Amino acid sequence: MLENKNIILGVCGSIAAYKSATLVRLLVKAGANVKVILTADAANFITPLTLATLSKNPVYTQYFDAETGVWSNHVELGLWADYMLIAPASANTLAKMATGICDNLLTAVYLSAKCPVLFAPAMDLDMWKHESTQHNIQQLQTYHNQLIAPGSGELASGLYGEGRMAEPEEIFSFLEALISQHLPLKGKNVTVTAGPTYEAIDPVRFIGNHSSGKMGFAIADQLATLGATVTLISGPTAEKSLHKVNRINVTSAADMLEACTAAFTQTDIMVMSAAVADYTPVKKETQKIKKHTEEFQLELRKTTDILATLGAMKKDHQLLIGFALETENEEVHAKAKLLKKNLDLIVLNSLNDKGAGFKVDTNKITIFNRAAEKTVFQTKSKTEVAKDICTEILKLVARS
Ligand code: CTP
């Protein structure tokens, strides 16, 4: 969720400044680009070197370097930020922000920033309770700045009470929750299938395929990153899903059918990227089959086409996305599957394309929609391909 988000962290003079190191680590670990601005007082509590090392960016402390004359452009920094976080926010800086006083780099960037601003106050309990502080906080909220309320506990003065800065983990979760409110798939239930299915022949053997599940897992991760509530129905695979994805493990095509039909009524968007077996043994032997005969025939029965089943169940508000894996006459087959299975999008993979298909980290796709529009993509990593597929899904969501 925080991946590639630009975040300015403003740190004020407070003993809680030491916690900004943990906060920077959490943000960087989540993939955010972090630039830290320290007030002059903050630099007495935590060194620029610590925060520069953790953020992997230079730390800004003043408008310009007196020795070199190098100038830190506050307007540029303000516009760079997707989010501005002030933690710890001292009573002094809150007062300046509330009244528009702009006497240091942090307050200048605050006035220049157009992005959402969050502030986590830290001060002694009487400073926190003071009417002027409370008035300033209310004022800041009328400017749509978000308060991350302090907690109670032992304060630096030795007194107990309210004023202790929220813990870095709480600040991080607050920011994540704020971002998720604005995500395009917030409130959407999405179901993704991935991986192969295994069709048992006897207790030790099965019919399977080479699907690794990588593509479906990348799609599930990307949809979750876009704010959807994601259920991932996966066949046997070594892939790992994001913790926020609700994973259901299945083995056979019949298991997958059952899980998909159960999930479908609650699903807004269904992406069927699993490589479901088309045939399953008519009979599963209960004991291991012995090699008594020179020749051996296995009788197979067609499995239920899950995608076509869901296509027949589909309501107007639901979107159904399928895949087509082809080796010849690709476009004709893909378009036919789109119509026959009542899909909104079909993603075509051709095994004739280099870098496409099973067990590789790349894929090359072409997407067709119901309006017969065709979008051809270059060979990319499966993560990038997942993003392209999700972009096409977002276009459909925007239209619906
Ligand atoms: N699919 C499915 N249930 C099946 C078989 C396939 O839901 N029993 C889905 C796949 O997940 C994929 C789409 O159907 O999204 C197309 O799968 P593909 O193997 O390309 O084609 P099939 O429809 O199985 O047809 P064929 O194998 O004849 O090309």
Q: What's the pLDDT band for 75 if we cut at 50, 70, 90? A: confident
What pLDDT is stored for residue 145 in this prediction?
A: 95
Judged against a pLDDT cut of 90, whether residue 64 lies above it is answered with no
Question: Strand 345-350 and strand 365-369: pairing?
Answer: antiparallel
How far apart CA 65 and CA 242 sit, in angstroms, is: 44
Q: Which two tokens stand for residue 319?
A: 């979107």
What's the rounded mean pLDDT across residues 116-122? 96
pLDDT digits (tens, 9 = 90+) for 85-104: 999 999 999 999 999 999 99
Phi then psi dihedrals of residue 234, to 5 deg: -120, 140
Atom of ligand 1 nearest to the CA of 333: 29
Average pLDDT over residues 166-184: 92
Question: Which residues contact residue 64 at a Cβ distance below 8 angstroms, ignoring those fewer than 6 apart?
Answer: 70, 71, 72
Mean pLDDT of all residues belonging to the chain: 93
Smallest CA-to-CA distance from 230 within 337, 390, 362, 365 is with: 390
Give 305 Cα–ligand 1 centroid separation in angstroms: 7
Question: Cβ contacts of residue 354 below 8 Å, gap of 6+?
Answer: 364, 379
pLDDT at 359: 66
Query: Can you spell out the DSSP letters for 37-90?
Result: EE-TTHHHHS-HHHHHHHHTSPPB-SSB-TTT--B--HHHHHHH-SEEEEEEEP
Cβ contact 210:231 at 8 Å: no
CA nearest neighbour of 107 among 33, 20, 41, 37 = 37
pLDDT value at position 107? 96
Q: Is the pLDDT of residue 289 over 80?
A: yes
Going from the Cα of 123 to the center of ligand 1, the distance in angstroms, rounded, reads 62
Residues 251-288 have pLDDT tens digits of 999 999 999 999 999 999 999 999 999 999 999 999 99
Going by pLDDT thresholds of 50, 70 and 90, the confidence category of residue 244 is confident
Residue 275 alpha carbon to ligand 1 centre in Å? 7
Tokens representing residue 32 in the block: 């955010």
**Bridge-partner residues for 319, per DSSP?**
269
Nearest-atom number in ligand 1 for the CA of 323 is: 15
Using CB atoms within 10 Å of the CB of residue 181, give its burial: 0 to 12 exposed, 13 to 18 middle, 19+ buried: exposed
Helices (H), the chain: 20-29, 42-45, 48-55, 74-80, 91-99, 105-112, 125-129, 131-142, 168-181, 214-225, 253-264, 306-313, 330-340, 382-399
Mean pLDDT over 321-334 rounds to 94
In a mutational test of the pocket of ligand 1, which residue from 198, 323, 330 has the highest number of ligand atoms less than 8 Å from its CB? 323
d(CA 156, CA 152): 12
User: What is the per-residue burial (b if ≥16 Cβ within 10 Å, else e) of 282-320?
Assistant: eeeeeeeeeeeeeeeeeeeeebebbbeebbeebeeebbb
Supply the residue whose CA is at minimum distance from atom 27 of ligand 1: 278
What pLDDT band is residue 241 in, cutting at 50, 70 and 90?
Answer: confident
The residue whose C-alpha atom lies closest to atom 12 belonging to ligand 1 is: 323
Residues at CB less than 6 angstroms from ligand 1: 253, 272, 274, 276, 278, 303, 305-307, 322-325, 337
Whole-number Å distance, alpha carbon 278 to ligand 1 midpoint, is 7
Number of alpha carbons in the 13 Å side-chain half-sphere of residue 95: 10
Q: Which has the higher per-residue pLDDT, 308 or 355?
A: 308
Ligand 1 centroid from CA 320, angstroms: 13
Q: Which residue carries 């599940």 as its tokens?
A: 213
Question: Phi and psi dihedrals of 181, rounded to 5?
Answer: -60, -30
Q: How far is the CA of 43 from the centre of ligand 1 (A)?
A: 61
- Percent of the chain clearing pLDDT 70 (strictly above): 99
* Residue 71, C-beta contacts closer than 8 angstroms, at least 6 positions apart: 63, 64
* Closest Cα to atom 13 of ligand 1: 323
Residue 303's pLDDT is: 98
Q: Does residue 155 carry a pLDDT above 90? A: no
The residues, any chain, with a CB within 8 Å of residue 316's CB and separated by 6 or more, are none
Which one of 325, 327, 338, 351 would you pick to mutate in the ligand 1 pocket, going by the greatest count of ligand atoms within 8 A of its CB? 325
Catalytic residue numbers read: 209
pLDDT for position 8: 98
Residue of 264, 276, 326 to mutate, ligand 1, most atoms within 8 A of C-beta: 276
Measured between alpha carbons, how far is 274 from 322 in angstroms, rounded to an integer?
Answer: 9
Site of tokens 């995608």: 307
Angle CA(194)–CA(288)–CA(234) in degrees, nearest 5? 10
Read off the pLDDT of residues 178-213 as tens digits, 9 standing for 90 and up.
988 888 999 999 999 999 999 999 999 999 999 999
Q: What is d(CA 348, CA 362) in angstroms, rounded to the nearest whole number?
A: 14
Catalogue all structural domains in the chain, each as residue range(s) with its CATH number: 6-180 (3.40.50.1950), 189-399 (3.40.50.10300)
